[in-house]
């Protein structure tokens, strides 16, 4: 239910008691007290404001991150992003009753993937179950007029710099949807996989209350905007993952393959591709190389597609095992996602080989390599921010 606050230009909404109770219970999975409050305030804010926006305005409104990823974000950064028509709304809820200034975490201002157009200032009163949207500003205004605080990495705007009449925002959205609201921000350099894993292991320390303040912003900004890395950090801080600096659990024992014993997820080519399709399957090899005598395949789910990881083994005269690794599309009529990477990593995480798919590749393959008993290695499939790793031991 919406009703006018003491300031008739501001929006005040009631918070459902059931929503508040459910949100508080869900927030308890957060690894820190600060994360619990962030998750609680953002959940009740989102679930109260989003339906109102969808009901009041014809502009299509949706949450930037899917529901599964929101807890990992709220565990480290306050705020939620909504796609609103062709603009992005950033909602920053606060429990404080002080509205003398509006404080915005730096991530929402300086990380290119997270930058918004309009930033809504929201007060949450959990005692009387109400929320008030007391004003808004733009990314351009924050960058040109905001004061940056390096200690807590926030931008702040004095209340006098905030547009408190929300009717202005709604009118602008209708009459001038192409209004210039952003300014350019510096791009962030990708963080190498091995470095990212080491940083995540460091940040997983439960004694670190605010991971967002522990690293240089150029590193942190790239980690927090990467869904895969951020989710790993969230799980590690919940104690669900082993430290990335310790040896990973080996999930595939290839010595058992030589005894015709296979993990359930690694299927025969006939099972995965069908008899007719598997007949045309072959590894690329040089004339002096042996044919793979054991071939197994595993289906991998990517964010918007599916690929198959193929492994082939043959025995060398010196007792070593030759390994071939291939990535292929579900059928010869389909292509691999352009830019997808297939990598061979050592047991220490060093990249030994890497190959990237072009726009019309349906198969990519690493160069054949040989290993001895006891050798550990990993195969990594990487597409944009998404990374899958399979670990092996002979």
DSSP 201: H
**Per-residue pLDDT tens over the stretch 158-205:** 988 999 888 888 888 777 777 889 999 999 988 888 888 889 988 988
**Per-residue pLDDT tens over the stretch 82-127:** 988 888 999 999 987 777 889 999 999 999 999 999 999 999 988 8
Q: What is the DSSP string of 288-334?
A: TSPPPSEEEEEEEE-SS-EEEEEEEEEE-TTS-EEEEEEEE-SSTTS
**Per-residue pLDDT tens over the stretch 337-391:** 888 999 998 877 788 889 998 888 889 999 988 888 888 888 999 887 778 888 8
Beta-sheet strands, E only, within the chain: 2-4, 11-14, 61-63, 80-84, 87-94, 101-105, 118-125, 130-138, 147-149, 154-158, 252-253, 294-301, 306-315, 321-328, 341-346, 351-356, 363-365, 369-371, 376-383, 386-393
CB atoms within 10 A of CB 175: 8
**Per-residue pLDDT tens over the stretch 6-51:** 556 678 899 998 998 888 888 888 888 888 889 999 999 999 998 8
Domain ranges for the chain, please list them. 2-175, 193-237, 252-393
């Amino acid at each position: 239910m919406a009703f006018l606050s003491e300031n008739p230009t501001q929006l005040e909404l009631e918070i459902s008691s059931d929503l508040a109770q459910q949100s508080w219970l869900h927030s308890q999975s957060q690894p820190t007290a600060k994360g619990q409050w962030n998750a609680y305030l953002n959940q009740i804010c989102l679930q109260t404001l989003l339906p109102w926006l969808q009901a009041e305005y014809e502009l299509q409104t949706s949450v930037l991150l899917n529901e599964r990823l929101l807890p990992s974000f709220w565990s480290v950064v306050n705020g939620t992003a909504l796609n609103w028509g062709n603009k992005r709304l950033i909602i920053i809820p606060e429990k404080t009753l002080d509205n003398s200034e509006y404080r915005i975490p730096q991530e929402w201002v300086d990380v290119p993937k997270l930058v918004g157009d309009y930033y809504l200032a929201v007060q949450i009163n959990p005692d009387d179950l109400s929320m008030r949207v007391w004003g808004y500003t733009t990314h351009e205004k924050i960058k040109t007029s905001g004061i940056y605080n390096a200690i807590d990495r926030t931008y702040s705007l004095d209340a006098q710099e905030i547009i408190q009449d929300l009717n202005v925002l709604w009118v602008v959205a209708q009459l001038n949807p192409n209004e210039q609201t952003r300014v350019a921000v510096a791009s962030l350099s990708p963080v190498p996989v091995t470095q990212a894993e080491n940083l995540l292991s460091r940040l997983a320390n439960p004694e670190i209350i605010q991971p967002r303040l522990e690293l240089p912003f150029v590193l942190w900004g790239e980690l927090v905007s990467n869904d895969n890395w951020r989710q790993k950090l969230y799980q590690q801080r919940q104690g669900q993952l082993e430290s990335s600096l310790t040896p990973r659990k080996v999930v595939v024992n290839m010595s058992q393959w030589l005894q015709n014993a296979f993990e359930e997820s690694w299927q025969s080519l006939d099972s995965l591709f069908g008899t007719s399709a598997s007949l045309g399957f072959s590894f690329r090899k040089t004339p002096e190389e042996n044919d793979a005598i054991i071939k197994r395949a595993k289906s991998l789910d990517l964010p918007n597609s599916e690929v198959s990881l193929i492994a082939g083994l043959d025995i060398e005269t010196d007792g070593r095992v030759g390994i071939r690794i291939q990535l292929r599309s579900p059928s010869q009529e389909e292509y691999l996602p352009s830019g997808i990477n297939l990598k061979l990593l050592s047991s220490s995480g060093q990249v030994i080989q890497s190959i990237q798919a072009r726009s019309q590749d349906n198969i990519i393959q690493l160069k054949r390599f040989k290993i001895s008993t006891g050798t550990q290695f990993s195969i990594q499939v990487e597409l944009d921010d998404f990374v899958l790793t399979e670990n092996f031991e002979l």
